[in-house]
Structure 1
Amino acid sequence: MAQRTWLITGVNRGFGRHLTEQLLARGDRVAGTVRDLHAADDLRAAAPRDALWLAQLDVTDTDAVRRVVDRAFAELGTIDVIVSNAGYGLFGAAEELTDAQIRQQIDTNLLGSIQFIRAALPHLRRQQRGRIVQFSTVGGQAAFAGGSLYHATKWGIEGFVDALAQEVAVFGIGCTLVEPGGARTDFRYRSSQLSPKLDAYDASPARAVHRIVEERTSVPPGDPAKMARIIIDSADQEPAPRRLALGSDAYGAMHRQLSERLAALEAQKALALSTDGPAHA
């Protein structure tokens, strides 16, 4: 088991914390970012000496992203794996969301992830090796009412990483998208945000997500510690797995919606082919 240095955004809670705790326990080194340095005081206190490097970072601040990433590579030297983990959920019908909520969701989940990866690319390219792990979700492959803007950011980052993987393979850089289903972190009941409500949507399936978050009664099936272990182990796989679907709910929803999309595409095959021009125009 090779020892590595990891750069992870959002290490104070959720998957970022699970990854960091497991990596430190196995002897790896972690460079972690948090919005508030005090939120990681307990991690710092428990970490072996010189094993945890921390920096304050809001991923919506592009200049700060570049400064922090550059400093991490300058101070730590080689970084083997970068993990773009910071993000949150925004739920409610598209019409109900405020303009400010939409901007913040895109700035954090999509633009923040893109700029974090872009900031690391020159360093990874010079190393001629490295691994990029981008957190997505089952919602990056399957869509549900009430999640339109969240899906927009996750479908967007999946397209970005799929194209990126083709661009950087020549430099020895691998890319993996992590697609967990519901996990027992604080994502659902602490970090997620809800839209204001319009009475007109009380009869819409979009309202279900409000009930789930407000009632706080459902228990997600996924074990985040098990998921973190699989993500860590994936760094040893060559080539890098393009996607990691984690959780029975993720597998079920993705399989169902991908199958439906493929069936719909097959039904349009003749129509699609009919629009080509002559072979020798």
Structure 2
Amino acid sequence: MTNRTWFITGVSSGFGRHMTEQLLERGERVAGTVRKLDSMNGLKARYGTLLWLAQLDVTDTAAVRSVVNRAFSELGRIDVIVNNAGYGLFGAAEGLSEEQIDHELATNLVGSIQVIRAATPHLRSQGGGRILQISTYGGQAAGAGGSLYHASKWGIEGFTEAMMQELAPFNIGVTIIEPGGARTGFRFGSAQVGAKLPAYEGTPAGRVHAFLEDRSRLPNGDPVRMVQRMIASVDQTPAPKRLVLGSDSYAALVKALKERLADIEHQAESAASTDI
């Protein structure tokens, strides 16, 4: 196996941290971005030059381009781009603040778009590479209380599917990662919630608050195993369009896709009736 160089956003926790640790242990090089550099002091001391770090808030488009350009300039070649930085925002849509909405979309959607846009010319000029876009089964299946999180993930999945086609002629493979619930800090650490509105008490959107606070029901997903599968996917040729991780993710995706197809497949005749 040839050691690669990986550019990963948000390496201080969650999937990004697990991936960074596994790659460094294998002797591969990681260019990681964080909002607070001191959160990586331990790994930096242990792995030295194998770990290249930069401070980055992916909502800052100019900084995204600067950091990506600097990483390619200083490291020479980057084989894999991993868009990992992101977080969940939950609650009834009308209970979310304007600031919460703007920041969620700026982070999960626009931030990921800008990382890919910044990396694309470098990947083209070096003759290829891989992009892993971390999404969620919530990028295909939607539920009450997750409207803005779903908006960010459905949006980035649409963008990424188009990029698969745009970048294929340049030997750049793109994979959407669809994890289910995992035992990271996503739910009990980084997730944000909107205001509790009395009108939604007892409704599906209102119950999301209780779900996020209930620590007795832990996710089934093992983040270590999930990251192992993500890393292994880079060796697949061609790149898988989607990588489903977790039995909950698989079940939710199959259910959502079947229901969407059932909603439209009986409309063939009526759809054609509007043709000129």
Q: TM-score, normalised by structure 1?
A: 0.97
Question: Which digits, 9 at most, give the CA deviation of each residue in 1:141-196, with x for residues without a partner?
Answer: 10011000000000000000000110111111010000100000000000000101
Q: C-alpha deviations, 1:33-65, integer Å up to 9, x for none? A: 000001111221222x31100000000000110
For the residue of structure 2 that corresponds to 1:95, the secondary structure is: helix
Shift of 1:11: 0.5
- Is 1:271 equivalent to 2:270 in the alignment? yes
Task: Give the superposed CA RMSD.
Answer: 0.8
The residue number in structure 1 matching 2:146 is 147
Q: Within 5 Å, which residues of 2 pair with 1:154-173?
A: 154-173=153-172
User: Offset of 1:216 from its aligned partner?
Assistant: 2.2
Matched pairs, number: 276
Alignment of 1:18-37 (within 5 A): 18-37=18-37
Task: Give distance in 2, aligned partners of 1:106 and 1:64.
Answer: 17
The residue correspondences of 1:93-108 to structure 2 (distance < 5 A) are: 93-108=92-107
* Residue in structure 1 matched with residue 8 of structure 2 by the alignment: 8
Equivalent residues in 2 for 1:246-257, closer than 5 Å: 246-257=245-256
What amino acid is aligned across from residue 8 of structure 2 in structure 1? I
Question: In the TM superposition, what whole-angstrom CA distance separates every residue of 1:104-149 from its partner, at most 9, and x where no partner exists?
Answer: 0001000000001111011001012010110100100100110000
Q: How far 1:276 moved relative to its partner?
A: 1.4
Q: How is 1:1-281 mapped onto 2 (pairs within 5 angstroms)?
A: 1-47=1-47, 49-277=48-276
Q: Aligned equivalents of 1:208 and 1:178: distance in 2?
A: 27
What percent of counterpart residues are identical? Answer: 63
Q: Shift in Å at residue 22 of structure 1? A: 0.6
Once the 2 structures are TM-superposed, how far is the Cα of residue 258 of structure 1 from its aligned partner?
A: 0.5
The 3-state SS of whatever aligns with 2:49 is coil
Shift of 1:249: 0.3
- Tell me the CA shift for residue 269 of structure 1: 1.5
Q: Which amino acid aligns with 1:20?
A: T
Query: Structure 2 CA distance, aligned partners of 1:99 and 1:217?
Result: 32
- Aligned residue type for 1:230: R
User: Which letter maps to 1:256?
Assistant: K
Say which SS state the counterpart of residue 141 (structure 2) adopts: coil
Gap regions ≥5 residues in structure 1: none
1:217 CA displacement? 2.1
Structure 2 CA distance, aligned partners of 1:275 and 1:26? 58
1:165 & 1:2 partners in 2: Cα distance?
Answer: 24
Q: 4+ residue stretches of structure 1 with deviation over 2 A?
A: none
Structure 2 portions without partners, runs of 5+ = none
Deviations along 1:226-279, whole A, 9 cap, x unmatched?
0000000011111110101110000001101110111111121111122111xx
Amino acid at match of 1:61: D
Q: TM-score, normalised by structure 2?
A: 0.98
